Amino acid sequence: MSFDYDLFVIGGGSGGVRAARVAAGDTGAKVALAEEDRYGGTCVIRGCVPKKLMVFASEYGDMVEDARSYGWDITPGDFDWTAFRGKLEAELDRLEGVYRRLLANSGVETFDQRARLVDAHTVELADGTRKSAKHILIATGGRPVKPDLPGAELGITSNDIFHLDKLPESILIIGGGYIACEFAGILHGLGVKVTQYYRGAQILRGFDDEARGLICEEMCQKGIDVHLGTNILEMTREGDQFRVKATNGTERLFDQVMFATGRAPNADDMGLEGLGIERGRKGQIVVDDYSQTGVPSVYAIGDVTDRVNLTPVAIREGMAFVETVFKGNPTPVDHDLIPTAIFTQPEMGTVGLSEEDAAEQEPIEVYATSFKPMQQSFAGRADRVLMKLVVSQKTRKILGCHIVAPGAGEMIQLAGIAVKMGATKEDFDRTVAVHPTMSEEIVTMKTPTRTA
């Protein structure tokens, strides 16, 4: 049977674009891709890239203060949101253009519209056109969702933050995950009065307890008003502001309310149920180790599968899919020991197991040190950093490395290589320290802080 295409990709984010262009460029496959919104997906258009640029912008205020401590005669000015937003939008337009060119140069045919599945080998575009393909790859990502409570529709999500006409004077951020905590730091740094409610006992659930405890402490020290064990009951509009009733009995007014309370896979109304493609409890598409659904010709990668929701992971899944399906080299996706950074302020880099998870598996040693880094200490700041290694007593392997410090994301990338290779504590000990740096503490901790 002949098909219009060897591969039809639904979704123009990082994972879908990589799979499409590598399949077309490396193997000569005939490939098409449909995207209903902007090319680049969550990461490029409304996630990691604009967020990191906002993190950079938010840190300059403190840098000016620090510079004065170092003898520079400079005066802090005001942040111009309009000027920054104009440059940000231009940069995102440029990056979207890059994604479009990458596809075109690889010979991928693109359709700027929504697509859904009709059967195991057919997709239907929004204009009613039908296209057949030997293989279909779903890479539609995820989206932020608001909770089901009175007035929630009045709030914004992380998608909307980049499009605000002006920065609010005050904002309530609801949630305790990395998106909530990153935006709390960003907006605080840009001069917004930030309050954060999180229903749990501590922010950043799932990460190392000691590390998240320090981040929360430092956020509070900086002036972010964090309320743990607190949730919102309802919100109403009151003039230009929003009145928020909380579970701690308070009622307060805010200029904006942002929900960062979870994300959902974009898998609705795609014809999956008609094909018998299984979906999980959160609505995610269920796939095997090779990203294949229960329908052999249909695969799915990235956030829509709700495995490890990170851009580089979606790209890896896309590459493994091409290896498996188009290069005859069955490649399961490796989700083990993925280094990651959280751009909170202070920043966190982490790879491997938290102390808590490791201790549940086997006897461990913990090496940890917390101190004031030289640069900030000289400037009169009280900021603290954390360097931590979780070590197997039996094998001496590093099971987890956790860093809370400026530049932690840069550090964890390199530490991640060592941990992925199976480095032992003694391998770290044999490595000479780079002095004077914060990261030298990773190789100079000789005595366990505790065992578990």
What stretch(es) of the chain map to CATH 3.30.390.30?
Answer: 340-451
pLDDT score of 22: 98
**Nearest residue to 233 (alpha-carbon basis) of 250, 213, 211, 254:** 250
Report, as residue numbers or ranges, the catalytic residues: 435
What is the pLDDT averaged over residues 267-288?
97
pLDDT score of 1: 81
What is the pLDDT averaged over residues 415-429?
98
pLDDT score of 35: 98
The H helix count followed by the E strand count for the chain is 13, 22
Report DSSP state, residue 44.
I
pLDDT band for 76, please (50, 70, 90 cuts): confident
Report DSSP state, residue 42.
I
User: Which of helix, strand or coil describes residue 400?
Assistant: strand
What is the pLDDT averaged over residues 88-94?
97
pLDDT score of 136: 98
What is the pLDDT averaged over residues 303-309?
98
pLDDT band for 206, please (50, 70, 90 cuts): very high
d(CA 184, CA 170) in angstroms, rounded, equals: 11
| Class of the CATH domain delimited by 340-451 | alpha beta
- Look at residue 242 and tell me whether its pLDDT is greater than 90: yes
pLDDT score of 203: 98
What is the pLDDT averaged over residues 334-351?
98
For domain 152-261, is the CATH number 3.50.50.60?
yes
| Class of the CATH domain delimited by 5-142+264-326 | alpha beta
What stretch(es) of the chain map to CATH 3.50.50.60?
Answer: 5-142+264-326, 152-261
User: Which of helix, strand or coil describes residue 435?
Assistant: coil
pLDDT digit string, tens, across residues 111-145:
999 999 999 999 999 999 999 999 999 999 999 99
pLDDT digit string, tens, across residues 215-238:
999 999 999 999 999 999 999 999
d(CA 37, CA 45) in angstroms, rounded, equals: 10
Contact 302, 11 (CB under 8 A): yes
pLDDT score of 273: 95
Task: Quote helix, strand, coil % in the chain, to nearest 5.
Answer: 35, 25, 40
- Look at residue 389 and tell me whether its pLDDT is greater than 90: yes
- Look at residue 86 and tell me whether its pLDDT is greater than 90: yes
